[in-house]
Amino acid sequence: MPRTILEPRSHVEYLSILDSDGNLDAALEPRLSPAELKSLYRAMLLGRRFDERMVRLQRQGRIGTFAPIKGQEASQLGSVFTLRATDWMVPSFRETAAMIWRGWPLEKILLFFAGYVEGGQPAPDQHDLPITIPVGTQLPHAVGLAYAAQYKGDDAVVMVYFGDGATSEGDFHEALNFAGVWHVPVVFVCQNNQWAISVPLKKQTHSKTIAQKALAYGLPGIQVDGNDVLAVYAAAREAVERARAGEGPTLIESVTYRLGVHTTADDPTKYRTQEEVTAWEQKDPLTRFRAYLEKKDLLEDGLERRVDDEIAEAVRRFEATAPPDPLTVFDHVYAEMPPHLRAQRDELARWLREGGAPAPEPPAAPLGATPMRGQRLTRR
């Protein structure tokens, strides 16, 4: 029997408005006011400068390992800029710029990467989830938030971030399938920075784009120039408006590049060439947007100094924070603390009250004796 075409071959669009050479497609240029453009640029600059300062702090041993964002500022800010405060933002582990835009204080982010549990706690009225380290696990959570908003009749939209590596996880496909079936108001933003740690995109998928994966789940997908903040904004605004109008989810593939290390524990020279990095540096989103604003005479004198001063003050506040309470290691694990953990907590509390005095030495056991469980066998 002859084969029957069930539906026409679908297509995926690519959007670029301001390219790396400074060419502007004026017909697609979004209508952003001078104040909005200045605000976007300041946020991108703050994200870049803060990121660079965090790298220095980590190298000095003043914070722990984290994932730098250098090169991905446009992907984050062009998209998060389209959200209302009542919408939800769900980050992975490389969304520092988006978090700052959403109101996370700089010193709170520093506290998180210094190991303070308080650093990962959103404000009570903040519609954000905390940083998520396991790859892709935040995607079903975001769909659940969107399902809840839809169920309650709320017009909130959920925007969730993830990298190209997460598209190789089952969580990604499950989340897209659930979102498509239930037609929930969620915007998936894939920051395709070309590398899942040391695994290049070509070894993750045979698809020409990540955006086309949306088609299998019955939702639109679009690929954008992730270093063009105007293109990211335009695509995200359209997706957010669709979701808020009840027209369902969208997958945005934001093609960008991680100019720095995967995390501060990584050495990218082991798996990529300097020539590749140099080529992408020519597409830097910050210098591209700066040139665009310069033509519009919208650059502010002294902005870099003011941003650096803001970061320095945040570092001062962070380092003035009292040491964390060691007893918090027992919190937020069980709804009701089991007896064995309560006993350990009480013992640690006693030890701290007594100034950290060592526990008494158990009595010596006779030669050949077998220690009881929990007893240390000592010989004198």
Q: Which residues are designated catalytic?
A: 258, 262, 271
CB atoms near residue 180 (< 10 Å):
19
Q: Note whether 149 and 156 are within 8 A (CB).
A: yes
Place of tokens 């520092």: 96
Given the DSSP bridges, would you call strands 199-200 and 221-225 parallel, antiparallel or unpaired? unpaired
Q: Note whether 163 and 186 are within 8 A (CB).
A: no
| CB-count exposure of residue 38 (10 Å: 0-12, 13-18, 19+) | middle
Of 235, 273, 237, 234, nearest in space to 257 by CA: 273
| DSSP track, 310-330 | HHHHHHHHHHTSPPPPGGGGG
Q: How far is CA 364 from the centre of its chain?
A: 54
| CB-count exposure of residue 130 (10 Å: 0-12, 13-18, 19+) | middle
Cα 92 to Cα 95, 133, 142, 164, 303: the distances in Å are 7, 6, 11, 12, 29
